[in-house]
Structure 1
Amino acid sequence: MKIAVISDSHYEASSINEVKKYLNDVDIILHCGDGAPDTKLLERYFNGEIYAVRGNCDISSEYPSERIIEVIEKKIFITHGNMYNVKNEYNTIFYKGKEVGADIVLFGHSHKAIINKYDGLIIMNPGSITFPYGAAKRTMGFIEIFQDKEPKLYIKEI
């Protein structure tokens, strides 16, 4: 199972359109907020599942601020990150992940791509597909999950 993780598209259709070319072999798309409604642009041609959470720049209450999905026995906690101080530290979101029993925690908000693993929990920020942090490139994340194996997470420049 292959999952694409995007965040912080900030209502830029051109960024969403550019991401489409990386979705050919993807089963699920996850959007970590600030542009959650941008996923509607993907629904027209993507047949897999799409999940999004609301970020601090998303006005619509159509999307939850947090959600948990399970993929091949891996629990994935998704949030934007603004409620967990992710621009300054990762302890708060790490402990939230532990509290909900997550295997993987996904968030955005800081526009800074990271993957960290500690004490059996993986946290990932895929960066921003529109406005990367500092001099970084625009990025998105991928997760590959297979039965009875450790998930493989990686960041891709777009």
Structure 2
Amino acid sequence: MLIAVVSDTHRDNYYLKKVKELIKTADMLIHLGDNIEDAESLKRDFKGEVYTVTGNCDFIGGYPLEQIIEANGIKIFITHGHKYGVKYDLGSLYFRAKELDVKIALYGHTHMAQIEEEDGIILMNPGSTSMPRASKRSIGFIAIDEKNNIYPYLEEI
């Protein structure tokens, strides 16, 4: 299984087109907020499942602030991250993930791509497709093999 993870797209149509090309082979798409309307655009041509959460720049209703989803039986916590202070440290996010007993916690908000593993929990930020900070434009991918081994990685746009 291949999961594509995007965040902080901020209505940049040029880079959204590039993202559409990169996610074609994914089985699942996760949009972590900040211009949630972009998730609607991305899912028009996407064949797999799509999950979204709202960010601090999203002002339309109907989308959750956070949620737990499953992929191949692996629990994944998704949030934009602003309610967990991810710009300062990942402590609150980590403890929430531990409390929820998930294997992966996905967040955005910082516009900085990052993958860390703490006590068996993968903390991943795919970066920003439109306005990266201290890194290049990027999206994330999570490959899960038939033995449920998890391989997170980043791809520049």
TM interval, short-chain normalised: over 0.9
Q: Are the equivalent residues in 2 in contact too, given 1:72–1:146 (CA < 8 A)?
A: no
> Does residue 6 in structure 1 map to residue 6 in structure 2?
yes
CA drift at 1:147: 3.2
> Does residue 141 in structure 1 map to residue 115 in structure 2?
no
Alignment deviations for residues 90-141 of structure 1 (CA, whole Å, 9 cap, x no partner): 111000000111100000000011000011100000000000013x210100
Q: What is aligned with 1:108?
A: 108
Q: Describe the SS at the equivalent of 1:109.
A: coil
Amino-acid identity (%): 43
CA drift at 1:20: 1.0
TM-score (norm 2): 0.96
- The letter of the residue matching 2:143 is E
Matched positions, count: 157
Q: Which runs of 4+ in 1 moved over 4 A?
A: none
CA drift at 1:39: 1.1
Q: What is aligned with 1:92?
A: 92
Q: Describe the SS at the equivalent of 2:4.
A: strand
CA drift at 1:149: 3.5
**Structure 1 alignment gaps of length 5 or more:** none
Q: Are the equivalent residues in 1 in contact too, given 2:72–2:148 (CA < 8 A)?
A: no
**Structure 2 alignment gaps of length 5 or more:** none
Alignment deviations for residues 40-82 of structure 1 (CA, whole Å, 9 cap, x no partner): 1122211111111000000011210001100111100000000
Q: What is aligned with 2:122?
A: 122
Alpha-carbon RMSD across the aligned residues, in angstroms, is: 1.0
